[in-house]
Structure 1
Amino acid sequence: MPIHTLQSDNYTIEAGNIEESSFSQLLNRFSDSKKVIIVDENTHEYCLEFLITQFEELTDAEVMLLPAGEENKVLEVSFQVWEALSEYRVGRSDLIINLGGGVITDMGGFIASVFKRGVHFINIPTTLLAMVDASVGGKTGIDLGPYKNQLGVFNTPDAVYIDKRFLSSLPESEWLNGYAEMLKHAIVFSKTHWKTIHAKTPSQITEEDIIESIAIKNQIVLADPKENGIRKLLNFGHTAGHAIEGYLLGTESPVPHGIAVAWGMSMEAELAFKTGVLNEVDRAWIQSVLASHFPPLPDFTPVKQELLSLMTNDKKNKSGKVSFVFPSEIGQADVNYSFDVDAPVLESLFFKSSDLY
């Protein structure tokens, strides 16, 4: 398949075999610059050798190996990277290459953005989640305790390169993570995309499906780069989902981002229905599709106060109210539905899958 190029805000997103992309030309632009490749334990094992052997310009690149996992997307790890960058004498004209999933692209972009007030960086996402969501859009960040992405900046990479071959080593659970975000893009913006992907298993997702999902997000981001309006649509499922993810991160049973978001979408679809925004047919369709692909929604009632407390510190909130995105039907959604944390209607968030099916 030929390289498919999307133009985003001051950078390009290219999908296809990376050897056929503009990556080599970009490296030539930095021929006299230092290059640093940030990887985690997984991409160090499965992806790094391929990249270095394909591009001789990376033969002398410094490799920075970070521990894998959301629990490591924190200031302490970032600080260690900044110290290493200082030891390598990396400057603003040098290049950081983020080779990894959402944790690496989020954190690597943040590290590059604040070091010496900004170092060039590119993203080469290696998970479906990173390809369709985390690596595009210009959001960078790290977590602060149980609060997701509390520290971060908006800053765009020089380029993003999407090569589906990096997905070949992923377990099914990693495909699920990205599939959740693809379903979210469809629910809030494109019923056509929903009809294309909702009945597929994650491993049946094609490169064309990935490109379409990226195009949806890119279109939304271009219209609202700093999330003042329409970009808030991309937060569907994330108010409840981030609270769930953050809460469980501190337990013995953490869940990946995609599963937390899938549960969040099911919960927020229920709340949208109970408040009269979402019709019953599409509510049931959304919840049944999510239930067919993702683990059953647990009963979070015993910890609802903890989850609501986490929701009150969500960065999307305004005037002390908890904010949500509600679909009005599949393919359309509205932003800025807000409730006091003690509003009785928020009880609609807390149910388990067996209550519905």
Structure 2
Amino acid sequence: MESILSGSSRIAFGENGRLLFRDFLAGQRFSSIFVLTDSNTRVHCLPVFGAQFPEAGKWTILEIPAGEAHKNITTCLTLWQQLSGKGADRQSLLVNLGGGVVTDLGGFVASTYQRGIAFVNIPTTLLSMVDASVGGKTGVDLGLLKNQIGVIQDPELVLIDSGYLNTLEERQLRSGFAEMLKHGLILEKPYWDALKNTTNFRSLQEHIHTSVILKNNVVLEDPRESGLRKILNFGHTLGHAIESFYLGKGEGLSLLHGEAIAAGMVMESYLSVQHAGLSTSECDEIKSVMLRFFPRVPFPEADREAILELLRFDKKNSAGSVRFALLQRIGKACTHQEVTRESLRGAFEYYAD
């Protein structure tokens, strides 16, 4: 697959990506190289990485605990101290090997350590390949609030190797698949139509490439998220609130990102009927497809109210008003849509029915 230029970085795939990474390393004179993993990717992905790049045996491995609960400034502080203690300087390189938590957090750590060192992202989950790999967003959560602290900074290179998908359980694959479905819904109906009949989540290489292209086209037009890029938030206003709410319930009860976003997309499709002109038939189609791939999440009344309260912290808010990216039709999205509290409660009812 051909590599893709994204801002100041290049997104490369498979063997071609591995060759570009070797050329990149040969063309630079890094004083030291660090590899950031979490406790899962160190066990399952680092051996694969080490087999592909034997020279990595001489690099310094950094490890953080796995899970969204550790995507916070405390983890960053630990890593900054480790980098400093191990002699990292402005000519060092940080390689982020992991899912979205590792690439988001690692990118933020690199972008702020000594006012910025070079970093490379190697996403190892489907979610991070089709979402976190594109657009240069880095950051951490603030308490239960998703991605409240961060900067936009492109990595030097993104290497997408679908071989890492073999290390994932199907639940994790489905989580990433939700973002791919979103790309079809907001940008390209034929892509949605192709994805909705998927039966094998381990044979998505061509679709991964398509998702990266679709998201990258949006990011290139609006790199700072001042306009068009906000369509990528479809499903995420309610979805992030749902994810944050369940994160507060503890690791055993939390939802994966894609599971929360799938529920959010069903609800925001309902809001799209109420406020953006989406047809009822397309709304029902979206609901049917999402519930085929993702089990329905129960939302008791008290939970619904708590989730709605979290909406006031959403980064897209303006003058205290919650704004949504909604669908005008499958393949066409709009942004900056204000919805009523009554519609929000109706969205939960629609999802539950």
Q: Counterparts of 1:202 and 1:305 in 2: how far apart (Å)?
A: 37
Q: What is the correspondence of 1:77-226 to structure 2 with a 5 Å cutoff?
A: 77-201=75-199, 203-226=201-224
Q: Secondary structure at the residue paired with 2:176?
A: helix
How many residue pairs were aligned?
A: 351
Corresponding position of 1:76: 74
Corresponding position of 2:261: 261
Aligned CA distance change for structure 1 residues 15 and 77 (closer, same or farther; 3 Å): same
Q: Counterparts of 1:279 and 1:220 in 2: how far apart (Å)?
A: 25
Q: Counterparts of 2:305 and 2:168 in 1: how far apart (Å)?
A: 35
Q: CA deviation at 1:88?
A: 1.2
Q: What is the correspondence of 1:285-304 to structure 2 with a 5 Å cutoff?
A: 285-304=285-304
Q: CA deviation at 1:48?
A: 0.9
Q: What is the correspondence of 1:198-347 to structure 2 with a 5 Å cutoff?
A: 198-201=196-199, 203-252=201-250, 253-275=253-275, 277-339=277-339, 343-347=341-345
2:63 corresponds to 1:65 = yes
Q: Counterparts of 2:312 and 2:24 in 1: how far apart (Å)?
A: 43
- Alignment RMSD: 1.5
Q: CA deviation at 1:32?
A: 4.2
Contact 1:301 1:351 in 2 (8 A): no
Q: Counterparts of 2:352 and 2:254 in 1: how far apart (Å)?
A: 21
Q: CA deviation at 1:200?
A: 0.2
Residue ranges of structure 1 left out of the alignment (5+ in a row): none
Q: Counterparts of 2:331 and 2:347 in 1: how far apart (Å)?
A: 22
Residue ranges of structure 2 left out of the alignment (5+ in a row): none
Q: Counterparts of 2:294 and 2:141 in 1: how far apart (Å)?
A: 24
Q: CA deviation at 1:300?
A: 4.4
**TM superposition outliers: structure 1 runs of 4+ over 4 Å:** none
The sequence identity of aligned pairs, in percent, is 40
Q: Counterparts of 2:16 and 2:259 in 1: how far apart (Å)?
A: 29
Q: CA deviation at 1:30?
A: 3.4
Contact 2:17 2:159 in 1 (8 A): no
Q: Secondary structure at the residue paired with 1:77?
A: helix
What TM-score comes out, normalization by structure 2 length? 0.96
Contact 1:126 1:167 in 2 (8 A): yes
Corresponding position of 2:43: 45
Moved more, 49-58 or 316-325: 49-58
Aligned CA distance change for structure 1 residues 87 and 215 (closer, same or farther; 3 Å): same
Aligned CA distance change for structure 1 residues 268 and 25 (closer, same or farther; 3 Å): same
Q: What is the correspondence of 1:17-56 to structure 2 with a 5 Å cutoff?
A: 17=15, 20-56=18-54
What TM-score comes out, normalization by structure 1 length? 0.95
Q: Counterparts of 1:268 and 1:123 in 2: how far apart (Å)?
A: 31
